[in-house]
Amino acid sequence: MNFETFEPVYESILADFGFDRGADERARDVAADLATPFPLDRLDDWRGETVAVAGAAPSLGDEVATARDADVVVAASTAADVLADRGVTVDCMVTDLDKNPDTAAALTRQGVPVAAHAHGDNVPAVREWLPRFADEWTLATTQAAPVGVVANFGGFTDGDRAAFLADHLGAGELVFPGWDFDDPDVDPMKARKLDWAARLLRWLERRRGERFAVLDGRREEADAALGESLGDG
């Protein structure tokens, strides 16, 4: 997905949360100064494969087999730790550095790619942690317009950004262990972000002509919300 396609949804997210686009752009520019190019052809082996996009919901512990049986495993945030504890190799981690940046840094030093996301609220973390990552295994991302080595493949939360990344790389099928859009233990802000994650996965599902089981029971609501941003999609 290119930014021109994603931008109307990005603008809706900014409006919904009251986020500052300029802050996102400043964060992106900080990441651009710290990061180095990441050749995406390193991930060509994702093409046509089943990719598990592992979320960090408590249910992941009961759904590890879905990740273990996939060809490629992309972990959102702390899902990387849960999977590692259960002996599942992670092929990529997607993070905005808010919970376990030490895990992300360690993975890059082991030769595992990490998509490290810069946004308006995490500039201190970007400045602190990107220099600790192995440059050659760090893919810097933004939700604003991409600049230089900083990419935008679509998405908003760690989990749905992981799905959009897998789609960009030509994944054949996406599966979603460890997702819970109705997690009662999250705070109201996180609940709103999960709602947006559902909308974005629905958009991706429609674009791919695929059916994600994780969206069962949520499609009508997601379609209605997306219509406000995309018209007929």
Chain length of the chain:
233
What architecture is the 3-230 domain classified under in CATH?
A: Alpha-Beta Complex (3.90)
Q: What is the pLDDT of residues 46-90, one digit of tens each?
A: 999 999 999 999 999 999 999 999 999 999 999 999 999 999 999
Nearest to 72 by CA among 55, 89, 94, 60: 89
Q: What is the pLDDT of residues 127-185, one digit of tens each?
A: 999 999 999 999 999 999 999 999 999 999 999 999 999 999 999 999 999 999 998 88
Contacts of 231 (CB under 8 A, 6+ apart): none
Q: At 84, is the secondary structure helix, strand, or coil? A: helix
Is residue 14 very low, low, confident or very high in pLDDT (cuts 50, 70, 90)?
very high
Nearest to 203 by CA among 3, 1, 52, 4: 1
Q: What is the pLDDT of residues 36-56, one digit of tens each?
A: 999 999 999 999 999 999 999
Task: Indicate whether this model's pTM tops 0.85.
Answer: yes
Is residue 230 very low, low, confident or very high in pLDDT (cuts 50, 70, 90)?
confident
Each domain of the chain, given as residue ranges in start order, spans 3-230
CA distance 232 to 219: 14
Nearest to 20 by CA among 121, 169, 156, 151: 121
